[in-house]
Amino acid sequence: MITEIAILNVKPAKAATFEKDFQLAGQYISSIDGYITHSLSKCMEVANQYILLVEWETLEAHEVGFRQSAQYQKWKALLHDYYEPFPQVLHYKKIL
């Protein structure tokens, strides 16, 4: 299992609609083969900052299966304008 982690800094003027649109976008990511689960948490100390955690069966499920899909294009169109700066996305493999 691979965990994808992204720190999402949302533009202040768009924070009110981000959570609603992110909930809608969940249908796109969850339809991909190899997807396990995802969560979005809001930072308590930093305004307009969120952390996205997505569990995938493999790295390829995210990098190829999702990012090269029509669902990703819908996800991107719905969410990418919210971020400033654009988030760095990293993948982690559990060792313990």
Please tell me the distance from the alpha carbon of residue 6 to that of residue 65, in angstroms, as a whole number: 18
- In b/e form, how buried is each residue of 26-40, taking b as 16+ CB within 10 angstroms? eebbeebebbeebeb
Give the residue extent of every domain in the chain: 2-93
Return the H-helix or E-strand segment holding 25.
helix 15-29
Sheet arrangement for strand 89-93: 35-42, 49-56, 2-9, 89-93
Which band of pLDDT confidence, cut at 50, 70 and 90, is reported for residue 15? confident
Query: pTM for the whole thing?
Result: 0.94
Could you read off the pLDDT of 18-46 as tens digits, one per residue?
999 999 999 999 999 999 999 999 999 99
Please tell me the distance from the alpha carbon of residue 28 to that of residue 35, in angstroms, as a whole number: 11
pLDDT in the model for residue 63: 97
CATH numeric code, 2-93: 3.30.70.100
